[in-house]
Structure 1
Amino acid sequence: MPYFAKYKTKDGYKWLFQMPTTVDPLSGKKKRTSFRGYETKREAQKAAQMIKEQLDKGTYGNDKITYREAYASWWDIHQRTLKPSTRDKSEDVFRSRILPHFDKLRIKDIDRDYCQAVVDKWREELTESTAKDYKGHASQVFKYAMSRDWIFKNPMQFAVVEKKDENTLADDDSENENFWDSEQFLEFQDTASKEMEYQDYVMFYVMGSSGLRKGEMLTLKWDDIDFENKIINVRRTLYFKNKKDILQKTKTGASLRSAPMTNDEIEVLNKWRTLQKERFLKLGIQYKKVVYVVCRDNLRPLRLAHPNEKLNKFLKHHPDLPSITVHGFRHTFASALYEAGVSVKTAQKFLGHTRMETTMNIYTHVAKTIKVSEADKYENHMKMLKQNR
């Protein structure tokens, strides 16, 4: 209900009223707005009634809505559709990268030029794909504002993310080969099987042989493995928040898949199951309680940082092997598929990619590397012929 009051000015008495008109996007509490300067109480009451009608229709203050207010309204709905890991990541992007640029600006005043300047700023500091990702995030708020009739055009739609020079891209690719070819992966297997704890060796072996993501590997259960049909059923992934293990469905619908296994992989897993059983019997734990293929002594999944720590330690002692990340084992699997002549469509299914373009990008990168390798072999062969003449 509006609150009416009479107040004194140098020109005599006037009337004001206060009423809730907006909601604070941070606290969620209603904010009261004061309206002053009315000659009579009746005039103030009439104005209050008009504002109430606008509030009821949802048309009040459209020209005053800030980007943050639009974001808060959109986020309240959008976050319900996201998985916990995606929700936290998206919220962090807005908090650290997007809101600092738009925050208290009235959304109707934000134009194409300003959006382009923000995108250019992101592009100076970030990769092309990350800048595009931030642009997409920011654009969703503008689209929501359009659906609420707060604005009529999306100014972010017209912003362009600058592409790097093609030669620069080629150089970057050659310097950041995040996979091993089949010979290098075999070399890793020979060494790691002797130097690593067998559980860690199995973890990397399966990721490199079946293309599992790190979170998928750490939540892989023995029941997910179909030894008879040589298939790993990928069903879930791991997410850590507030020191708690949170299991959730795989990254996308396509990620819910059946990954192939080799006979050698089955042999390694069977050996590990025997060793794992012995390990937990020594700890006084009944093996039927063991669910995960790799896990801690308390039967919980390994930490997400565990594979990174073990791989970094291994590579530090083996500088002869090219340095790759944990995710590089997944690309190593893709590399093996390419070398074996597996079609892009089949590789897409094995890897659980939603878009074929993602698989094509990996295949193209692998193809470039292999061509360079074969060219080097040819050059060395010609040198040997010259030396023997």
Structure 2
Amino acid sequence: MSNQTPTYLEVYAQWLPVYKTKVGESTFDKTERDFNNHILPILGSLQLDNITQEMCQQYFNQWSVVIEHSNKLRTYAARVFNFAIKLNYIESNPFDRIKVKKVQRKYDDKIYTRELLTEFLAACKNELEFQYYTFFHLLTYTGLNKGEMLALTWEDVDFDKNTLRINKTISKGAELYTRFYDDYDLLNRNIPIDDETMANLKIWQELQAIYLNMADNDNNQLLFTSNKNTILQLSAPAKWIKKVSVKLPKGEITIKGFRTTHEHLLFEAGGEMLAIKERLGLSTETRSRRMMEVRAEDRMELMEKVTNLLKY
């Protein structure tokens, strides 16, 4: 190890290109913005071996007061130190042992009851175009994130097997683009879909072909598009919600709330843990191990349980 270690900024400059290869463009842009706005102004000019645990604790405490995602900043800042350890610049990470106050998650405004979801979907069906109703119905029964929803094509829908393939998402860089998940990515998954949801998708496929004047169904056609048949802005679903009369007692229903609610319902249904993680793309297991351990009957049983919770 050299007598003089590099500065935090110098190691960050080495780490950043490596990090860029592992994440999507929108995630990279947000991370880089967090470093430029919050982390580098404090740590950038300091030599690594001069940064102590006490200093990091103080910086984290400052972030916690004014920044909601302070834990994320802590994680980002620590990654540069871990990278420096791999390069033998330092021996330990000063962020490893700082005290982090656990924040209790507030589910009151983020988890929707079955009655509220039923009321919301009924209002969507009566008040919105069928495309938007289909979107929210599929969102309710799958828990996909909005990027995955907006990236779906008809090739992803298997009407014979009642399954949905999730292998891509819409990301935002200089402009919107489709980012495909790697084959080994845990987000790349196939999930079973209930009969009613599949029936809605079939109706929408036929209606869409009429609206777009397509003689034959194009498997590469996006399920949900703008009026010009282009990729929808990621903010579009939130605008659709505002058109619906049903609201939460304490505010509007949010897109993120659908995924949080679906996750909650999966656990409430008592599904197998690996099947739950696979359905949501949350598993920490390797893809090969996950595929071995999650049985087809577990996937189907999980879908049936959450469908029954929503309906009865």
Normalising by structure 2, we get a TM-score of: 0.81
Structure 2 partner of 1:69 = 10
* In 2: Cα distance, 1:220 partner to 1:175 partner: 30
Structure 1 residues 209 and 310, CA, compared in 2 at 3 Å: closer, same or farther? same
The 1:76–1:236 alpha-carbon spacing in structure 2 relative to 1, beyond 3 Å, is closer
For the residue of structure 1 that corresponds to 2:106, the secondary structure is helix
In structure 2, the CA distance between the partners of 1:337 and 1:159, relative to structure 1 (3 Å rule), is closer
Distance 1:303 1:252 in 2: 28
1:181 paired residue among 76, 88, 113 = 113
Between Structure 1 and Structure 2, the one with more helix by share is: 1
Identity of aligned residues (%): 26
What residue is the counterpart of 1:350 in the other structure?
A: 279
- Where does the alignment leave 5 or more consecutive residues of structure 2 unmatched? 286-308
CA distance in 2, matches of 1:161, 1:196: 45
| Segment drifting more, 241-250 vs 229-238 | 241-250
Residue identity matched to 1:329: F
Listed as ranges, the matches of 1:97-176 within 5 Å are 97-127=38-68, 130-164=69-103, 169=104, 173=106, 175-176=108-109
Q: Deviations over 1:67-118 (max 9, x none)?
A: 1112112223332333323322221221112101111112221111111101
Cα separation, partners in 2 of 1:318 and 1:81, compared to 1, 3 Å? closer
Q: Is the 1:68–1:102 contact (alpha carbons within 8 Å) kept by the matching residues of 2?
A: yes
Q: 1:313 aligns to what?
A: 243
User: Given the superposition, is the C-alpha separation of residues 112 and 68 from structure 1 closer, same or farther in structure 2, using an over 3 Å criterion?
Assistant: same
- Greater displacement, 292-301 / 233-242: 292-301
Secondary structure of the residue that 1:156 maps to in structure 2?
A: coil
Instruction: Work out which of the residue numbers 177, 180, 184 in structure 2 matches 1:248.
Output: 180
The AA in structure 2 aligned to 1:173 is K
* 1:340 Cα deviation after fit: 4.1
Give 1:81's aligned residue. 22
The structural deviation recorded for 1:221 is 0.7
Gaps of 5+ in 1: 1-57, 357-369, 371-389
Tell me the residue number matched to 1:218: 150
Residue 333, structure 1, aligned to residue 236, structure 2: no
Find the partner of 2:227 among 297, 313, 337: 297
* CA distance in 2 between partners of 1:77 and 1:233 (Å): 29
Name the amino acid aligned to 2:281.
G
Aligned amino acid, residue 55 of structure 2: Y
2:122 match: 190
The count of aligned residue pairs is 284
- Partners of 1:163 and 1:246 lie apart in 2 by 35
TM-superposed deviation, 1:320: 6.3
- Is the CA contact (8 Å cut-off) linking 2:176 and 2:231 kept in structure 1? no
Note closer, same or farther for the CA distance 1:339–1:74 as it changes in structure 2 (3 Å cut).
closer
Which of the pair has the greater relative contact order for Cα pairs under 8 Å at 6+ separation? 2
Distance 1:239 1:250 in 2: 15
Counterpart CA distance in 2 for 1:215 and 1:251 is 18
- What is the 5 A alignment of 1:263-278? 263-278=195-210
Contact 1:203 / 1:294 at 8 angstroms: preserved in 2?
A: yes
Q: Deviations over 1:275-294 (max 9, x none)?
A: 1111111xxx5554561111
1: distance between equivalents of 2:174 and 2:73? 25
| Pairing 1:36-51 to 2, within 5 Å after superposition | none
Decide whether aligned partners of structure 1 residues 324 and 343 sit closer, same or farther in structure 2, where only a CA change above 3 A counts: farther
Matched position secondary structure for 1:223: helix
Return the index of the structure with the highest Cα Rg. Answer: 1
The change in CA–CA distance for 1:197 and 1:188 in structure 2 (over 3 A counts) is same
Q: 2 CA distance for matches of 1:205 and 1:234? A: 17
How far apart are residue 143 of structure 1 and its match?
A: 2.3
Deviation at 1:145, TM superposition (A): 2.4
Contact 1:239 1:248 in 2 (8 A): no
The SS at the match of 2:18 is helix
